[in-house]
A and B are shown apart, each in its own frame.
Chain A
Amino acid sequence: MSTDEFRAKALAWLQQNAKPFDDNEPSSGGATIEESKAFQKGLWEAGLAGITWPKEYGGQGLGTAEQLAFNEVAANFRMPVGPFVIGLGMPAPVLLEFGTEAQKKRHIEPMLKGDEIWSQLFSEPSGGSDVASLQTSATKVEDGWLINGQKVWTSGAQFSDFGAVLVRTDPTRPKHQGITMFIVDLHHPGVTVRPLVVATGDAPFNEVFFDDVHVPDDAVIGEVNNGWSVAVAMLRYERVTIGTGVRARANPLGYDALVELVRARGLDGDASVRRTLAQVYAKESAMRSYSAVLHQEAKAGVPIGARGSAAKLAGATFPLWVSDLVQDIFGEELALQNADTLPLTRSILAAPGGATAGGSNEIQRNIIAERVLGLPKDAGVDKNIPFNQLKLSK
Chain B
Amino acid sequence: MVKTPEYRDLFPGALEMMILQTLSRRPLHGYALAQHIKSISDDLLQIEEGSLYPALQRMLKSGWLKSEMGVSARNRPVRVYKVTPAGRKRLEEERSSFEKMFAGINRVLAMG
**Do A and B associate with each other?**
no
